Every structure is written in structure tokens, then in C-alpha cells.
């Protein structure tokens, strides 16, 4: 396993005598602006014309990277926080790491990638992303105590309950340098990431949240489609807990994001391009491609500061 090092200005992961330097989200907070696309793995992602919007930054997560590799588009970030994905789909996770400008993973996912390919993280821009109160360093406390401690925190939108445990795990972090709320779906972590980076308009692709329609890359069973032609058989469909988690964590999390943040300010907006998404349009508005094009014409173009992220 990786050892986390945060000492005397050094921020790194170490294993087998090898160190990988980590960057901090604090250093790239509000580094970007404009529009960004978050690419999830729902079936509708297969129909989205990613090449048409290739000039805009993309954030890919887990297996959705295959959609960008198909079109030879380099994502701004590749994300993974469930180590079971690189464990079961190492070729895809490695391809994502090698293709992306920046990589955001938890420590166990980083190690799974490293254990399958020691070169995948070499000379890459690495960010350690962790769930709030699930840190690989320092002391974690109960979810109830943590929720109580951040109830008036300007960077944490959260709920609190003395009675119900799950409520204390629901929230939205405005600064992923301090952690993210998972909502049991990685796209929710990606939303917290791009808010921290400074983007204003976020467009969700493939956020179907529908178990029956599945993941686009498992439907197609595409093989040999990574940057180095190393992605192999995808015929084994990985299990999903969407139906178990939707009512408990996913929908309540998006509702708190919508009601306690999105509807109370004007600088950060989220749109769902999956018209058949399980998420209600009253929570995250759904838009067509024509509406997307109009919003892109009207909105600020993508830009970033002159610092290196």
C-alpha cells in the first residue's frame, strides 16, 4: 500500500522506495472559469457528440474515459475514488491516468493503478481526493460529530440529525481540499471538484442513474480501445448499487445541492444532458443539445489563470 507523506512541505505517496509528488487543490482553487463537461458512464453518454464539444474541458471518471479515448480527446481530469474500479478494470483506469492532464483519486485507487502499472503515475499531475471525515491521515470522528462541527461552516453545505445516521453523511463541499461528500456516485464528487476549480457552468453527460440501461461501455463490449491498445475484454458487467443508494443518498444529496446552494446563487449552474435521467428536472434541469448550444453561445468561454494547475 501507499504511505501518505505530509511533512516539512512534502506532499506525496510512497511505495517500494518510490515517491509520487501530490498537488493540492488549494493551489488551483478558482484557477479555471467558464464551461465544463462531466462525463459519466450511463448509456446516454454513447449518443452524446463529444467531438463536437472537444474545445471545452472534460472531466472523465471510471469507465467513461473510453468515450474520450474513442475520439482522441484529452480530459482535464480523470477521477476515481472507488478502488474496486481499478481493481476490476485496471486497463481502463491505467488508460485514463495516462491520457488525462490531471488525476484525482483516493489513496487506494492510486495504489491499485500503481500495482498494475508502475509507470502509469510517473510524471503525472496527481491530486489526492478524499471523502470528508474519511481521511487517510489524521483523526476521523463519527459522522454525527462531523456534521455537527461543520453545520455553520461556509465551505460545507450539510445536514445534521441526532436521530438518523445517514442524514449526517449528506452534503456538498465547496472546497475539495477539505474533502468531498460522496452521495454514492462519483459524478457528485466531480461536481465538488469543478466548483473548487472555479467553473461556472457544468454540463452532465451520461448521468442516467438507471441500472437497467447500464454503462455504455459494458453495453458495447468494446475492446482494445485505450491509448496503448491495452483495454481487453469488458464482457463481465460490474455490479452496481444504484437502486439501493438512489433514495438513500443520491437523490437526497442532489436535492441539498439544488435547494441549499444552486437555487440560492447565480455563479454556479448545473445542467443535465441526459433527458431520460432518473434525476428529476426540478432538482437538476434537463436541457437538449439545442439548448446547450444556446447556453454556450451566451456564456463565458473556457479560461484559466496563468498558473499551472
Residues 205/273, Cβ–Cβ less than 8 Å: yes
91, three cell numbers: 486497463
For residue 138, pLDDT beyond 60: yes
**In a domain? residue 240:** yes
The per-residue pLDDT of the chain, averaged, comes to 90
DSSP string, 26-85: GGGTT-EESEEEEE--BGGGGGS-GGGGTTS-EEEEGGGHHHHHHTT---SEEEE--THH
**In a domain? residue 146:** yes
Q: Whole domain around residue 254: which residue ranges?
A: 11-300
For residue 249, pLDDT beyond 60: yes
Q: 6 forms bridges with which residues in the sheet? A: 11
CA dist 104 and 176 (Å) reads 11
- The three-point CA angle 181-156-209 to 5° equals 30
For residue 193, pLDDT beyond 70: yes
**In a domain? residue 1:** no
**In a domain? residue 242:** yes
For residue 32, pLDDT beyond 50: yes
Collapsed DSSP state (helix, strand, coil) of residue 159: coil
**In a domain? residue 194:** yes
CA dist 125 and 278 (Å) reads 34
DSSP string, 175-204: -GGG-B--TTSHHHHHHHHHHHHT-SEEEE
In this prediction, residue 208 carries a pLDDT of: 97
Residues 292/264, Cβ–Cβ less than 8 Å: no
**In a domain? residue 4:** no
**In a domain? residue 239:** yes
Share of the chain above pLDDT 90, in %: 72
**In a domain? residue 306:** no
In this prediction, residue 283 carries a pLDDT of: 98
Per-residue pLDDT tens over the stretch 87-103: 999 999 999 999 999 99
For residue 222, pLDDT beyond 50: no
The enclosing domain of 28 has a CATH number of 3.90.1480
Q: What is the pLDDT averaged over residues 257-261?
A: 97
Q: What is the pLDDT averaged over residues 146-169?
A: 86
- Number of compact structural domains in the chain: 1
pLDDT band at 220 (very low <50, low <70, confident <90, very high): low
In Å, what is the CA distance from 141 to each residue of 67, 145, 178, 242?
A: 39, 6, 15, 27
Q: What is the pLDDT averaged over residues 231-235?
A: 50
pLDDT band at 206 (very low <50, low <70, confident <90, very high): very high
In this prediction, residue 166 carries a pLDDT of: 82
Amino acid at each position: 500500500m501507499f504511505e501518505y507523506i505530509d511533512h516539512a512541505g512534502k506532499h506525496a505517496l510512497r511505495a517500494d522506495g518510490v515517491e509520487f509528488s501530490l498537488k493540492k487543490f488549494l493551489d488551483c482553487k478558482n484557477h479555471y472559469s467558464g464551461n465544463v463537461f462531466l462525463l459519466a458512464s450511463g448509456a446516454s453518454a454513447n449518443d452524446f457528440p463529444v467531438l463536437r464539444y472537444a474545445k471545452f474541458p472534460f472531466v472523465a471518471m471510471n469507465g467513461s474515459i473510453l468515450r474520450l479515448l474513442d475520439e482522441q480527446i484529452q480530459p482535464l481530469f480523470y477521477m476515481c475514488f472507488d478502488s474496486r474500479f481499478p481493481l476490476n478494470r485496471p486497463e481502463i483506469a491505467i488508460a485514463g491516468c495516462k491520457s488525462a492532464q490531471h488525476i484525482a483519486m483516493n489513496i487506494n485507487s492510486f495504489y491499485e493503478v500503481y500495482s498494475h502499472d508502475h509507470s502509469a503515475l510517473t510524471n503525472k499531475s496527481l491530486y489526492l481526493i478524499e471523502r470528508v471525515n474519511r481521511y487517510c491521515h489524521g483523526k476521523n470522528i463519527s459522522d454525527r460529530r462531523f456534521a455537527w462541527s461543520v453545520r455553520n461552516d461556509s465551505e460545507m453545505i450539510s445536514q445534521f440529525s441526532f436521530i438518523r445516521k445517514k442524514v449526517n453523511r449528506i452534503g456538498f463541499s465547496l472546497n475539495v481540499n477539505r474533502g468531498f461528500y460522496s452521495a454514492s456516485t462519483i459524478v457528485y464528487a466531480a461536481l465538488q471538484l469543478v466548483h473548487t476549480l472555479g467553473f461556472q457552468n457544468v454540463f452532465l453527460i451520461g448521468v442516467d442513474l438507471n441500472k437497467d440501461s447500464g454503462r455504455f461501455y459494458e453495453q458495447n463490449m468494446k475492446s482494445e480501445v485505450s491509448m496503448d491498445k491495452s483495454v481487453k475484454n469488458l464482457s463481465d458487467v460490474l455490479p452496481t448499487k444504484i437502486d439501493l443508494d438512489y433514495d438513500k443518498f443520491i437523490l437526497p444529496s442532489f436535492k441539498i445541492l439544488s435547494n441549499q446552494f444552486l437555487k440560492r446563487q447565480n455563479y454556479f449552474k448545473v445542467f443535465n444532458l441526459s433527458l431520460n435521467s432518473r434525476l428529476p428536472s426540478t432538482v437538476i434541469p434537463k436541457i437538449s443539445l439545442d439548448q446547450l448550444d444556446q447556453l454556450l453561445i451566451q456564456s463565458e468561454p473556457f479560461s484559466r489563470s496563468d498558473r499551472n494547475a
